[in-house]
Copies of this chain bind each other. A is one copy, B any other.
Amino acid sequence: MNIYSVKFSEDVGSFFRSPVREIFKRVDLNSIYSFAGGYPSAETFPLEDIRATMSEVIDKYGGKAFQYGATQGVPELREAVASRYGVPVERVQITSSSQQGIDVCTRVLVNPGDVILTSNPSYLGALQSFRSYRADIRGIAHNDDLDAFRDGYENVIAQVKAEGKTVKFLYMIPDFQNPSGESLTLEERKMLVSLARKHDFLIVEDSPYRELRYEGSHIQTMYSLDPDRVIHLGSFSKIFAPGFRLGWALAHPDILDKIYVCKQSLDLCPPIFDQYVAAEFLSSGQLDANLQKSIALYKGKRDLLLSLLEEHMPDGVRWTHPEGGLFLFLTLPEGFDSVRFYDTALDAGVAYVAGEFFHPDGSGKNTMRLNFSFMSPERIREGIKLLAELLSNAIC
């Protein structure tokens, strides 16, 4: 057989390889200074507590913990999530990762050519999923002026309508966005929800970092502003451990029902044992206790990174000041190409993610995303010194 005679589906033509995952194929993360990826620090995984909880789950549930289970998720976890976030249990679908939440929302809502609005830049994994369904992605830059921010959206929506196309949803990460680290104000959230009502589209609110706040006060979710129009996606990856691949979707039951039927044919149900472990960890209060430790740890790393950038970065480099989350976004002088610079950096032993990949419109060549959760303070220190030195040489 000549394998090249295989005719793949049209979707495959729009598949886009994650540059982040390609980096992981090239290098061992532990052998370099890695500001790439969005990995939590392994020291936030409470190994002994997890070991004890696993044993308790086996005692409590026996074989049921290893059997097939409900497509919506096991009742114990759905109820723990519902009670934590104050929503009715029939509005909770457990997902096999919040990436799956993004993917399945796109699957049930988007036909090829349909428009998805998002921030510019936006989360790479979401862009991958949107592209894979051949969505027409329109990225809209943030603007600190609320009227100008609204106008940016209104202009794009008017343009979309003029083209005879349909906006299916707006995808946003309102809290400590990936990649920028920035959050939307309450006024901005309200403005976007009112736009969604006015032009009758849905909002997919992706919220994996929300509980990792290091300063300031929590801002209402977009879901709480309009629980029928907003689909809220949550994740255990950053507040517990990503290796469990568990998240949740909160939505109007009629929307959730489509997600549920889709999930039947996607993978039948989320991992069962892992769900019971997460449910026990959540309802026992261990998750919150551990989360407080993670917040303290990450706050220290963020503060360290901010002070190191201040100390070492050459003139002409700017960066965001995230109040939470895992990332900070660097803007280099106009003309700098962070994709081209990447091999230089990797050869020297330091990795980041080029900002261009997060920009649906292909802009952002002079930007890069830095993660501060994964490495130890010592390695963050050494890594930033190295990166700053390389950038100084490249810019001058």
Residues of chain A having any CB pair with chain B under 8 Å: 1, 3-12, 15-18, 21, 24-25, 37, 39-40, 42-43, 45, 47, 50-51, 54-55, 58, 62-71, 96-97, 99-100, 103, 107-111, 114, 125, 128-129, 132, 166, 168, 197, 200, 202, 226, 228-229, 237, 241-245, 252, 254-255, 258, 261-262, 264-274
Contacts and interface: CB of A to CB of B under 8 A. Distances in A.
Q: What copy number does this chain have within its complex?
A: 2
Given A241-B67, A273-B274, A200 B5 contact: yes
Which of A1, A64, A110, A254 has the most C-beta atoms of chain B within 10 angstroms of its own C-beta? A1
Q: Is the interface of A mostly helix, strand, loop or mixed?
A: helix
Contact of A99 (B70, B265, B273): B265
A6 B255 contact: yes
B108 A11 contact: yes
Contact of A267 (B9, B114, B245): B245
Nearest to A101: B267
21 contacts: A3-B228, A6-B254, A7-B166, A7-B168, A9-B111, A11-B107, A15-B258, A15-B261, A15-B262, A15-B265, A24-B70, A42-B62, A42-B66, A47-B62, A54-B54, A66-B242, A68-B242, A96-B245, A99-B267, A103-B266, A129-B265
A1 B197 contact: yes
A202 to B, nearest CB: 7
Nearest to A15: B261
Contacts of A273: 243-244, 274
Given A11-B108, A241-B66, A242-B68, A51 B50 contact: no
A258 B271 CA distance: 24
A269 B99 CA distance: 10
Given A18-B264, A42-B63, A125-B268, A12 B258 contact: yes
Contacts of A9: 107-111, 114
Nearest to A109: B9
A281 to B, nearest CB: 12
A228 to B, nearest CB: 5
Closest 10 CB pairs of A and B: A42-B63, A243-B272, A66-B241, A66-B243, A129-B265, A128-B265, A45-B66, A100-B267, A245-B271, A1-B228
Which of A100, A255, A262 has the most C-beta atoms of chain B within 10 angstroms of its own C-beta? A262
A177 to B, nearest CB: 18
Which of A8, A42, A66, A96 has the most C-beta atoms of chain B within 10 angstroms of its own C-beta? A66
Contact of A268 (B99, B228, B229, B272): B99
A197 B1 CA distance: 7
A17 B111 CA distance: 21
Contacts of A6: 109, 202, 254-255
Contacts of A272: 242-245
B252 A3 contact: yes
